[in-house]
Amino acid sequence: MTATANTGGGSITISLDGTNKATTMKLLVGTVGPSVFDIRKLYDQLGVFTYDPGYGSTASCESKITYIDGDVGELLYRGYPIEQLAEQSNFLEVAHLLLNGELASGDKQKAFDDGVMRHTMLHEQIRRFFDGFRRDAHPMAVMCGVIGALSAFYHDSLDINDPEHRRISAFRMIAKVPTIAAWAYKYSIGQPFVYPRNDLGYVDNFLYMMNAVPTESYTVPPVLSRAMERWFILHADHEQNASSSTVRLAGSSGANPFACIAAGVASLWGPAHGGANEAVLKMLADIGHVDNIPQFLSEVKDKNNHTRLMGFGHRVYKNYDPRAKILQESAHAVLAELGIKDDPLLDLALALEKIALNDPYFVERKLYPNVDFYSGIILKAMGLPTSMFTVLFAVARTTGWISQWKEMIEDPSQRIGRPRQIYTGPARRDYAPAGKR
Ligand code: ACO
């Protein structure tokens, strides 16, 4: 194989030695970030595929939603730095931004907020789904099941080719997932379901459904509200991560958006992805004390051991994840506001981070804290049980998933996602009857 690069024209020509086959691949240039070679004609013209398990070098789509500079540690939603949005914006404003491309204001934002909030109720029949689960079911199992079931109820917004159906489905997903999440929690602790209150706004309504009981009045503490708003903004989107790619792949076949988001929830659940926030707290509890950190890290570094330092490392970030930086800084503030003077888990996490960041194993591999390292500490301080951490991630990420899904459906070059493979199994062979094998 011979490759000739034409940097001036931004293309590369590859010819297969011994054949007259050649292909020219154009370099496609984005607004920022690495350019990509357009390999779409490669198979037609050369008869070969590319091989990239885990997609380390593959751009699966064109997107205008979220940009990550992993070397610098920068995250932008539609161009806006995550730090500015986390500090100054609110979740529904960010949802509008992700979904529609621009920040809205005044009546436009209000219409969006109202549009989302009027869909918070679940069809009453959906209540019965919860009774089918064991009380000790993991809430993510309940999320997978009940979100998937939504497509059995909202038939009037399932035409993916109708922009109005897409708009209503997006509102329904963003509005109903918090209700499902809160009810999954209430079910697990045996308390009555609390119906949504649209006058409270998105984040407060969620905290209300989580914490209120019918026997007492409940006001959402502003400190919880602010902390959760920021937490939701930080988790709203993260370009083509495993769960968003799952949503896109499921949606590429024309599946309805409720089914696609259920697929995203399933993908998020894994400990290498959103399940890591729960795993971090378990890890910290297992380590128990600062004195045990060296022993724990030696297990992590042992190649014969499958232990990982949870909340560390990222496919894209080779620097500090900016979300982790915000959460680390706000962990102190949130704990102080909640009146928690000393949190042994935060102290342990800080010590663990410091030791790991000075350890050659982590330095050489560019492993830094990711969003999950500090997020669970804040959620725990807010009184949320560990089993709900990944559920909260799913609530926030639903906005990103539905934005990615909408962008894909509206992309004229969209085709069903169908990866190829290198086959290394047996070549053709003949079947032999049982007695002759
Ligand atoms: N602890 C110990 N070693 C690690 C860790 C870790 N957390 N992460 C990566 N490494 C090591 C690998 O063993 C590998 O070492 P090697 O080159 O000697 O074989 C090297 O670093 C590269 O790791 P990969 O697994 O190839 O990196 P990849 O990009 O595939 O994985 C991932 C990224 C899944 C996030 C990984 O870093 C990990 O498992 N982290 C812990 C789980 C976690 O925190 N997940 C949350 C990610 S953020 C999110 O999804 C919200």
The per-residue pLDDT for range 202-215, each reduced to its tens digit, is 999 999 999 999 99
Annotated catalytic sites, by residue? 314, 372
Q: Compute the average pLDDT of residues 273-302.
A: 96
pLDDT at 7: 58
Does position 107 have pLDDT exceeding 90, yes or no? yes
Share of the chain above pLDDT 90, in %: 91
Give strand pairing partners of 23. Answer: 14
CA of residue 365 to ligand 1 center, whole Å: 9
Contact criterion met (CB below 8 Å) for 233 and 91: yes
Closest residue to atom 9 of ligand 1, CA basis: 313
Closest CA relative to residue 201, chosen from 192, 191, 209: 209
pLDDT at 329: 86
Q: How far is the CA of 55 from the centre of ligand 1 (A)?
A: 15
- Residue 368 CA to ligand 1 centre (angstroms): 10
C-beta of 309 in contact with ligand 1 (< 6 A): yes
Give yes or no for residue 44 having a pLDDT over 90. yes
Instruction: Give the whole-angstrom CA distance, residue 266 versus residue 274.
Output: 10
Q: Lowest mean pLDDT of 92-96, 219-223, 327-331, name the range.
A: 327-331
Question: Distance (Å, rounded) from C-alpha 372 to C-alpha 238?
Answer: 13
| Number of Cβ within a 10 Å radius of residue 307 | 14
pLDDT above 90: residue 343 = no
Atom of ligand 1 nearest to the CA of 315: 29
**3-class secondary structure, 15:** strand
Atom of ligand 1 nearest to the CA of 373: 44
How large is the average pLDDT for residues 108-116? 98
257 lines ligand 1 (CB under 6 A): no
CB half-sphere exposure, 189, CA atoms < 13 A: 17
Is the pLDDT score of 356 beyond 70?
yes
pLDDT value of position 6: 66
For residue 93, how far is the Cα from the chain centroid? 19
Is residue 1 predicted with pLDDT exceeding 80?
no
- 365 in ligand 1 pocket by Cβ < 6 Å? yes
Q: What is the pLDDT of residues 131-190, one digit of tens each?
A: 999 999 999 999 999 999 999 999 999 999 999 999 999 999 999 999 999 999 999 999
Say if ligand 1 is within 6 A of residue 251 CB. no
User: What are the two backbone dihedrals, phi and then psi, of residue 82, each rounded to the nearest 5 degrees?
Assistant: -60, -35
Q: Is 372 in the pocket of ligand 1 (CB under 6 A)?
A: yes
Cα(313) to centroid of ligand 1, in Å?
5
Mean local confidence (pLDDT), 266-281: 95
Residue 416 has pLDDT above 80, yes or no: yes
CA 261 to chain centre: 11
- On the question of pLDDT at 33 being above 70, the answer is yes
* Tokens linked to 176: 């109903």
The beta strands (E) that lie in 188-253 are given as none
Model pLDDT, residue 392: 98
pLDDT at position 8 is: 59
Q: What is the pLDDT of residue 426?
A: 98
Q: Which residue has the higher pLDDT, 280 or 331?
A: 280
In angstroms, rounded to a whole number, what is the distance separating the alpha carbons of residues 105 and 88?
A: 14
Residue linked to tokens 């102080």? 336
For residue 23, the model assigns a pLDDT of: 94
**Is 312 a pocket residue for ligand 1 (Cβ < 6 Å)?**
yes
Kind of pairing between the strands at 66-69 and 74-77: antiparallel
Mean pLDDT of 362-381: 94
**For the residues 285-305, what does the mean pLDDT come to?**
96
Q: Is the pLDDT of residue 93 over 90?
A: yes
Distance CA 96, CA 399 (A): 9
Cα of 314 vs centre of ligand 1, distance in Å, is 6
**Across 239-255, average pLDDT:** 98
Query: Which residue's alpha carbon is nearest to atom 27 within ligand 1?
Result: 315
Q: In the predicted model, is pLDDT for residue 40 greater than 80? A: yes
pLDDT in the model for residue 337 = 85
Q: Kindly report the protein residue whose alpha carbon is nearest to atom 46 of ligand 1.
A: 273
How high is the mean pLDDT of the chain?
95
**Taking the alpha carbons of 408, 412, 413, 416 in that order, is the dihedral positive or negative?**
positive
What is the reported pLDDT for 3? 73
The reply to whether ligand 1 has any atom less than 6 angstroms from the CB of 126 is no
Residue 45 main-chain phi, psi, to 5 deg: -95, -30
Rounded to the nearest angstrom, the distance between the alpha carbon of 20 and the centre of ligand 1 is 42
Decide: 376 and 386 in contact? Cβ < 8 Å.
Answer: yes
Residue nearest to atom 14 of ligand 1 (CA): 365
Instruction: Tell me if residue 220 falls in helix, strand or coil.
Output: coil
Query: Does ligand 1 have an atom closer than 6 angstroms to the CB of 26?
Result: no
Ligand 1 in reach of 397 Cβ (< 6 A): no
311 lines ligand 1 (CB under 6 A): yes
Q: Is the CB of 308 under 6 A from ligand 1?
A: yes
pLDDT number for residue 340:
87
Going from the Cα of 356 to the center of ligand 1, the distance in angstroms, rounded, reads 14
The H or E element containing residue 113 is helix 106-117
State the average pLDDT over residues 241-268: 98
Residue nearest atom 10 in ligand 1 by C-alpha distance: 313
pLDDT, mean of residues 38-61: 96
Ligand 1, residues 277, 370, 379, 390: which to mutate, most atoms within 8 A of Cβ? Answer: 370
At 333, the pLDDT band (50, 70, 90 cuts) reads confident
